[in-house]
Structures are given as structure tokens and as C-alpha cells.
């Protein structure tokens, strides 16, 4: 929205004015003003004190456009779709300080695979991880409830399912344990712990359409179509 308003007022994409306004709404959202890959540049501290309390010197810069790594897939595991009661900043800080579960489950699945291969095969943030091999592992460790349809459990770019040979729930149920599980040791599965997965890829920044039929928002209400 900040990008569209800025464009309406005559500012260019990525200008400091648009970025600053977007930053006031969400530190995460301001990254979407650029396409592809961006880097967060923290504001200046002096003697342990933030120099600019408004946060205007905390910015993002584009490292590369979306075509730089065109085979990268991002998988987001949605544990709960309910509206969160705690802000991201507070929740992340408190989780790191108090939760022992952050080193388990999804993160543990990824780290176990990397250790088994001896070299990094996949990376993660608290949100995501790429490649079809991770999809198979995530579906193996975090299968849906039996009455869940595959189309509602994996949303977005479904080409990764085709690449992994997953066409229906019966394929998920038939998945074999990944090779890093030694000697067929029984492995705990967390059925239903993940609400659904979203598969996506790095995209471009905001685009201005003159054709209203291509708009994602209703031209009169401003709400998603």
C-alpha cells in the first residue's frame, strides 16, 4: 500500500519516502518494496543507544533481483493460522530466551539431514526451507490428518510436489523414512502439528497495473478480490 501511495504521489519505487512510510507499518513489509533478495541494514548505535529513534536509518538494500536464484523454493510451515496474541518482535525475543523447543521438530529435521550428508544441503530461518527433498522430509515427519486434502495442505507453487512425485495423500502415507534415520529406528511423527505448508519463490517488487482486471485488490473497496 505504501508503494502504491508513493507512486500516486509521484515518488519512485525504493525511494526513501516510500521506504520510511512502509517501515512505520512493518519492518518486515518494507522488504517487499524490492524484488528478489534484500539485506537488512541495522540503524546506528552510539554508546548502546539508538541514534535515530524513528528507525529511519534502519533500511533494506537489494542484493539481487528475483532471477538471480531462479530455482530457489521457499516452504513456509504454518503451525497455526490463528491471529497471534504476541507481536513478532516480542515473541521471537521471548522464544529464544525461554523455549527449549526451538531446537527440535522442523529445525531438527533440517539439521539432521545436513549432518547426514556432511555438507549443507538446505538452510532455514524460523519460517522456511527449500528443495523437493525437504518437502518429502516435512511431509514424512509432519503428515496431515487423514481427512485432509493435499490441495489444502500444500498451497501456492505445487510444482515442487510434482517434482517429488507426490500426487495424492496416498503418496504421502507411503513415504519411506529418509536415509539419515539409521537402522530403521522408529521415528516420532507429528501428525496434525502443522496446519498447512505454503510453497513460493522469490518474486519481484510492487507492479503498477493500468488494467484493473489484473489487480489483486477490488478497485472500489480496496479489499482482496
Beta strands at 154-156 and 196-200: parallel, antiparallel or unpaired: parallel
Q: Which residue has the cell 490463528?
A: 82
| DSSP-assigned letter for residue 19 | H
> What is the mean pLDDT of the segment spanning 155-181?
83
Q: What are phi and psi of 162, to 5 degrees?
A: -65, -40
Instruction: Give the model's confidence band at 92: pLDDT under 50 very low, under 70 low, under 90 confident, else very high.
Output: low
Record the pTM: 0.57
Residue pair 200/76 in contact by the 8 Å Cβ criterion: yes
What number of residues does the chain have? 225
Q: For 123-136, how does the pLDDT look when each residue is reduced to its tens digit (9 = 90+)?
A: 665 443 344 566 77
pLDDT digits (tens, 9 = 90+) for 194-215: 888 888 888 887 777 778 787 7
pLDDT at 65 over 80: yes
Amino acid at each position: 500500500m505504501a508503494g502504491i501511495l508513493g507512486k500516486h504521489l509521484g515518488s519512485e519505487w525504493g525511494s526513501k519516502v516510500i521506504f520510511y512510510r512502509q517501515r512505520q507499518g512493518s519492518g518486515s513489509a518494507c522488504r517487499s518494496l524490492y524484488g528478489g533478495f534484500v539485506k537488512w541494514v541495522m540503524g546506528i548505535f552510539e554508546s548502546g543507544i539508538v541514534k535515530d529513534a524513528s528507525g529511519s536509518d534502519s533500511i533494506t538494500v537489494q542484493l539481487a533481483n528475483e532471477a538471480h536464484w531462479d530455482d530457489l523454493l521457499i516452504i513456509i510451515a504454518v503451525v497455526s493460522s490463528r491471529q497471534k496474541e504476541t507481536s513478532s518482535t516480542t515473541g521471537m525475543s521471548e522464544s529464544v530466551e525461554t523455549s527449549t523447543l526451538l531446537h527440535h521438530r522442523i529445525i531438527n529435521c533440517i539439521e539432521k539431514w545436513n549432518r547426514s550428508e556432511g555438507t549443507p544441503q538446505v538452510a532455514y530461518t524460523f519460517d522456511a526451507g527449500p528443495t523437493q527433498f525437504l518437502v518429502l522430509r516435512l511431509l514424512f515427519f509432519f503428515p496431515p490428518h487423514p481427512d485432509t486434502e493435499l490441495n489444502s495442505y500444500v498451497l501456492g507453487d505445487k510444482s515442487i510436489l510434482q517434482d517429488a512425485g507426490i500426487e495424492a495423500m496416498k503418496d504421502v502415507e507411503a513415504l519411506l523414512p529418509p536415509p539419515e534415520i539409521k537402522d530403521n529406528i522408529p521415528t516420532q511423527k507429528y501428525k496434525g502439528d502443522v496446519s498447512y505448508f505454503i510453497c513460493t519463490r522469490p518474486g519481484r517488487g510492487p507492479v503498477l497495473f493500468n488494467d484493473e482486471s489484473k489487480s489483486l485488490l477490488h478497485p472500489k473497496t480496496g479489499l482482496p478480490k
